[in-house]
Structure 1
């Protein structure tokens, strides 16, 4: 019996991985249906998500190719330099540090800082302009059945039929769980506090990664004289800090932020997020592939989480589009295993590297402090090694999908 599909691809999840994936597949000639549990207006509300994302330069090339950058005018803050240092609260930073300067590896900035809500708005506008994409939201996928094709039953009783399901529905992916794909991971016992700071002096596009005993304190430059803090503390300490009044909270922030940008003060709401590591044991099943946070969730140190997901997007789209062009079954396991082979090692390796860095730096043990400070200083004095780390952070190392090279899928 021939399976009749409404779309070539069903994407469950219309967030920061799901919508770029839809655009990539559609621009590769496939028809796409996206089902997302959130109302698009809710997902772009300023109160929904206060985070910013460091979009690496390879991911920026993909956004440009997908037509997303055209909707981000005035919203992108170039990252010109990254300063990495170690220290203690109120004692200041170690004299040994690591400095990344984008001019060492080319004219492109190391990436761009963009508020998540503005990324979502730009993605939604790009999707609206793509006739091959149908977005169903807000709506919940209640059940997915796999066979000759994919049949998804929605909460309202409607059915969506496709040749392949791509799950981009987050760390707690119901699609992954229903498919019986297990995960491995652990809780860091840390919480990330996120808020915006206004400061007196211009930041010049310099991002700071300041390692403190409780966890990394990242100062990420935003458009204007503003910065986003991603402030990691042990969970009990984070709860106490979040419970402080505005002025006491500001004093704790200033004790870590310092005065290098002049007078500064937190503005707007505070957000907090528990920090965990989670890795899916498998990325694929027949007619199913996991993408982005559904496949992996890592510590936010170095801001690589979304970029890993965008590399998944570029690889998954390329694998599926290439198979379709060859007349192959895009949901066949042997097709999808190419995607798994391509992405799993990179994701696991970087996840464990971020885990190791967090464990190395999030303590106040004397010998470890000496070793890591020396390590930062040594890397800073070895230009080839420094440039390698910059290219790696920019997503330009390894077997890159076409979109990350700025080419059409």
Structure 2
């Protein structure tokens, strides 16, 4: 049967793309003195980098390509990840699931999960270590104004699914290796793990980047037509491209831990398919389900509080005393009014500063405060039986506690070539205008919008943007980046374009920059809206008219945000909008 005209054009385009690729790659490799050449080099073997490679391996519009992924870690360990986790499991009991959960967990939204299904990655997941989230309850830590979102109102089976990041990585890696091993696969994959990037250079702005690599076998210099930066918030690729980023630290840390519920001393129900998030003046406290007897918590705290809680946990773990103290404080964090919770948190700081080793009296004091608060609230006290709060946490996995600084960062653009192409553009892109304005105000230290852009570079994931974890969208945004980028590369190949050029990659930047900026801005404003602390002995303000005005403004703000939260809870269209944005597809 003869090919239809459109199919014939596509076939010729791919053939042209292949022949042009071989010619240009060979010429540039000789000019730059590279040992070898690849079509695409992805720096970073995390979820975003592996998702990029999986997307390429599943794209039927691509011609034969050589793609390499570089990471300093040992990626081969993910091949046996499931076996290692099964070996680490213990015998389950009526109050323990027996699973050794990792503390790096993502709430992957349903849109990204559906994409994983489409490209063939989902069957590689360990489904026994995944948990659907069908409902989330959020509330104000000062007024208890609350809103609830569920999957039904968003028109989906679930809002999101909890999955360990390593589970994602092992699924993506095994899928990639299976696809690459298929004799009919056009993609030739080289896994360059346990390999360090020592240098990136190019002889000109539009010339092929050459990546210098070092591992146990020696040094290699690889020229590439397209260099993808999936290498995190301190991205060497972004630095090589001359792209600056703007943003600010939140001056707080995210404390993460795996908590256990279902203690014989607790009459609380099992963990269901619900998540909870309380907006406290110091930052958000979130509980996300892992199993009927376990959950993961993320608590945004000022550094002095996060460090003190971490030190308290380590001290009690080393002494084999009060192993549930951190879990008790977490449970108190969901139950106590702020006026009772704040003295407890700073009590930890004071005990650490004074070197107090005996924590038993302090733990008893926490229990007394929870009991007193419940007595004061009477029938209005929040209860886990009606889903107002998570079940009482009875223990914390000793090695699961960690913290990391929180910040907002957004690159001025996603393509190094954009910095140069903007000079000739009739209508500059939104990212160009934003970067130019920030540069003019002195908010970018140099490089951006000053003609330093290096072509054939593109940023995805944390290399392009980082955000506060309160919305659970950081890694989800990165996966959405690679979905659009792989589609853009496929379209460019269909039209016989050089995939490293600005014209070929520009649709990716257009489709992703503003949506990412909108989500970063929304999350940032949500954080600052709730992270407002009333004056107390731990956050004192000098007496005077300025302090009085501040407190009056704070009261007005608290009233406004609580009213807004209650309005959202009462209006189904608004709840549907937020539910779809948080986890499901926007229709």
Residue number in structure 2 paired with 1:403: none
Matched residue SS, 1:17 = helix
For residues 228-286 of structure 1, the C-alpha deviation after alignment (integer angstroms, 9 at most, x for no partner) is: 00011111111111111443423322211446214532223201010011111121022
Residue number in structure 2 paired with 1:66: 119
What is the distance in 2 between the residues matched to 1:39 and 1:84?
A: 39
Choose the corresponding residue for 2:71, options 29, 33, 36: 36
What is the distance in 2 between the residues matched to 1:48 and 1:144?
A: 37
What is the distance in 1 between the residues matched to 2:158 and 2:121?
A: 18
Alignment of 1:334-373 (within 5 A): 334-364=503-533, 365-373=554-562
Instruction: Label 1:13 to 1:48 Cα distance change in 2 as closer, same or farther (>3 A).
Output: farther
**How far is the alpha carbon of 1:367 from its aligned partner?**
2.4
What is the distance in 2 between the residues matched to 1:265 and 1:49?
A: 15
Residue number in structure 1 paired with 2:92: none
Matched, 1:127 2:187: no
For residues 92-120 of structure 1, the C-alpha deviation after alignment (integer angstroms, 9 at most, x for no partner) is: x71x3111110123242111011112212
What is the distance in 2 between the residues matched to 1:199 and 1:213?
A: 26
**How far is the alpha carbon of 1:336 from its aligned partner?**
1.6
What is the distance in 1 between the residues matched to 2:398 and 2:120?
A: 31
Please give the TM-score of this superposition, normalised by the length of structure 1. Answer: 0.90
Residue number in structure 1 paired with 2:208: 149
Between structure 1 and structure 2, the one with the greater Rg is 2
What is the distance in 1 between the residues matched to 2:403 and 2:108?
A: 21
Q: Is the 8 A contact 1:307 1:395 kept in 2?
A: no
Residue number in structure 2 paired with 1:275: 406
Residue number in structure 1 paired with 2:580: 391
Q: Pick the structure with more strand per residue.
A: 1
Please give the TM-score of this superposition, normalised by the length of structure 2. Answer: 0.64
What CA RMSD, in Å, does the superposition of the two structures yield over aligned residues? 2.2
**How far is the alpha carbon of 1:19 from its aligned partner?**
0.2
Instruction: Label 1:57 to 1:331 Cα distance change in 2 as closer, same or farther (>3 A).
Output: same
Residue number in structure 2 paired with 1:158: 220
Q: Which runs of 5+ in 2 are unaligned?
A: 1-22, 27-35, 86-99, 181-186, 263-268, 317-321, 336-382, 385-390, 417-454, 534-553
Deviates more, 1:385-394 or 1:14-23: 385-394
Matched, 1:237 2:237: no
Alignment of 1:220-231 (within 5 A): 220-231=288-299
Matched residue SS, 1:74 = helix
Matched, 1:57 2:131: no
Matched residue SS, 1:78 = strand
Residue number in structure 2 paired with 1:10: 41
Q: Which runs of 5+ in 1 are unaligned?
A: 399-409
What is the distance in 2 between the residues matched to 1:278 and 1:59?
A: 22
What is the distance in 2 between the residues matched to 1:395 and 1:19?
A: 22
What is the distance in 2 between the residues matched to 1:60 and 1:223?
A: 19
Alignment of 1:62-141 (within 5 A): 62-72=115-125, 73-88=127-142, 94=144, 96-131=145-180, 132=187, 133-141=189-197
What is the distance in 1 between the residues matched to 2:241 and 2:490?
A: 24
How many residues get paired? 393
Instruction: Label 1:222 to 1:353 Cα distance change in 2 as closer, same or farther (>3 A).
Output: same
Q: Pick the structure with more helix per residue.
A: 2
Q: Is the 8 A contact 1:25 1:31 kept in 2?
A: no
